[in-house]
A = this chain, B = another copy of it.
Amino acid sequence: MLINELSKRTSVSIATLRYYENYGMFKGVSDEKVRTNNYKHYDELVVEKIEIIKGAKEVGFTLAEIKDLLENWHSEQLSVEKKIAVVNSKINEVDAKIHQLTEVKKLLARCIEDIENGRC
């Protein structure tokens, strides 16, 4: 698919998609058979990557962190051990964030109580 369809599929603006591609989050490929243009084509893997980007961004990961993760995702250069290590460290970060969110939630629940009891 071309960038317009990619944008519609992912609900991410074309400008943002180009920004991501330029940043190195994913790559489209130009059809070698067509020499008149260099329109880039994107496959389902790119769609998946963008969904990962969206989810990870939403919960506070930076593009740099997400890029790092995506690069390991389907890389041939890294050893199995290293790949697993990278992904595991991200899992730990996610756990830490979940823990922090439950703390925030507790705080908010306490706040509701305080409000109900006029202490707030």
Contact residues of A with B, CB < 8 Å? Answer: 52, 55-60, 73-74, 80, 83-84, 87-88, 90-91, 94-95, 97-98, 100-105, 107-109, 111-112, 115-116, 118, 120
User: Residue A60 contacts which of B60, B87, B108 (CB distance < 8 angstroms)?
Assistant: B60
New contact pairs (6) apart from A58-B100, A83-B120, A91-B109, CB-CB < 8 Å: A59-B97, A73-B120, A74-B120, A94-B104, A94-B108, A95-B105
How many copies of this chain does one complex carry? Answer: 2
Chain B residue nearest in CB terms to A118 = B80
16 A-B pairs, CB-CB below 8 angstroms? A52-B107, A55-B107, A58-B100, A59-B100, A60-B60, A73-B111, A73-B120, A80-B116, A80-B118, A87-B111, A87-B112, A91-B112, A94-B101, A94-B105, A97-B101, A101-B101
